[in-house]
A and B are shown apart, each in its own frame.
Chain A
Amino acid sequence: KNEVEQSPQNLTAQEGEFITINCSYSVGISALHWLQQHPGGGIVSLFMLSSGKKKHGRLIATINIQEKHSSLHITASHPRDSAVYICAVVLRGSQGNLIFGKGTKLSVKP
């Protein structure tokens, strides 16, 4: 069983739709990252959170430590949001090493 599970694996949405990507983990963590990777591109950190909720523009990330679950929401989605979104956790007690989910491929159609 993977320690970090994301759902869905693939997601197709129409422009303007509200999108949710989920991440569940089975290990104790110090923090959780949401990363974005555009096709052929590098990896950008969107959020790092250890509790509660963070918002940046149209993106919102939440985490529930007790339930070991995090969500990434995109409001008013746009074709430029098309990318792979990766959840990564910082394993508690480690040297800050990351364990990654396999990613969610999002395609937003105009």
Chain B
Amino acid sequence: AQRVTQPEKLLSVFKGAPVELKCNYSYSGSPELFWYVQYSRQRLQLLLRHISRESIKGFTADLNKGETSFHLKKPFAQEEDSAMYYCALRGGATNKLIFGTGTLLAVQP
């Protein structure tokens, strides 16, 4: 079965501290993984995708097929990073996205 697991509902860190938001997936084929973010009072939007291997707003995520993980990392958290982060898996021909339950990142000053 296709599934995305985000074990942490809330992650609270101080400004300047490293951040790692965990995501594990279950998928039988070659997965495409994404991180979406929702800032307060804004709509859900794409943050980054694994195939691009890009760094967006200082965030990176590496697909680890051996551990079936796609953790989101940032070396130094900023207050403006506070948001809800969703890991998502795309599977099948219909472009369907399967989302995790989300992790609320709170960056304290």
Do A and B truly interact? no
Chain A residues proximal to chain B, CB less than 8 Å? none
Chain B residues proximal to chain A, CB less than 8 Å? none
